[in-house]
Structures are given as structure tokens and as C-alpha cells.
Amino acid sequence: MHKLLVSLAVVASLGASSVAMAAAPMAAPAKMAPAAITTTGAVVAVSTKFCTVTLANEGVFLFGKGCKLSKITVGEWVTITWWKSGAKREATKIVASKSMNWADMMKAHMPSMMKH
């Protein structure tokens, strides 16, 4: 009888620990931040109303609400730090840049040209 009670106690304790582990919440995997990309180009359009900057042959970059783009001018060379969010290019930083010569442009765009 004693062996039976000990066996039942062991089984009960193992079952209780399994239930406790199953009930414990699993930690959600940490989301990785999107990789930041930098693009340099000539500004062809600026919208302070919609917080967007368009670069020649590079497309539209969307800055967050309350952006301060009033000092950015058409024709100015800038470097934009951004990441892809769905179909949008979410920009976080814009700084004035020197214009690029043909060789510099080829180096800057060579990785994207190799994908095509």
C-alpha cells in the first residue's frame, strides 16, 4: 500500500508540473528593427504639407508628422536615411550632401543595379 501511495504522489507531482509549464505564457519573439538604408540624390520635389521629399530617379520618401522640411530646396543634394515599410519609404533623417560625380553615382547604385 505504501508503494502505491508513493507512486501516486510522484505521478501527481509530475502531472502538476506539466500543467504549470503548459499554463506559463510564452515570451513573444523580439521583433527586429528594419535595416536602415541611406540614399543620396538631387531633390526634385518637397511637400511640407505631406512631409515628403522626392529624389531624382529614387522616388518619394515619407517623413513623420511634424517634419521640418522648409530648409530643403529643389536641386539640393541630400542624403536620406530610411527603411521600407510595406510599399512606403519611411524616412527618419535628411542631411545636405555634396553632389556626386558619375563614378560616385555608379558606386552608390551598383548594388541595386546588380539585382536587376
Sign of CA dihedral 73, 74, 77, 83: positive
| Chain centre distance of CA 42 | 24
Question: Residue 88 — pLDDT band, cuts 50, 70, 90?
Answer: very high
| HSE-CB for 103 with a 13 A CA cutoff | 0
pLDDT, position 9: 54
pLDDT surpassing 90 at residue 107: no
Please count the other Cβ atoms lying within 10 Å of the Cβ belonging to residue 109: 16
- pLDDT category at 5 given cuts 50, 70, 90 is very low
Half-sphere exposure of 16 (CA within 13 A, CB side): 6
Average pLDDT, the chain: 77
pLDDT for 35 equals: 82
Residue 25, φ and ψ in degrees, nearest 5? -70, 140
Which pTM does this prediction carry? 0.59
Do 39 and 92 contact (CB within 8 A), yes or no? no
pLDDT at 103: 60
Integer Cα distance of 112 and 106 in angstroms: 10
Domains of the chain: 37-115 (2.40.50.320)
Mean local confidence (pLDDT), 3-28 = 54
pLDDT digits (tens, 9 = 90+) for 25-68: 666 666 666 789 999 999 999 999 999 999 998 899 999 988 99
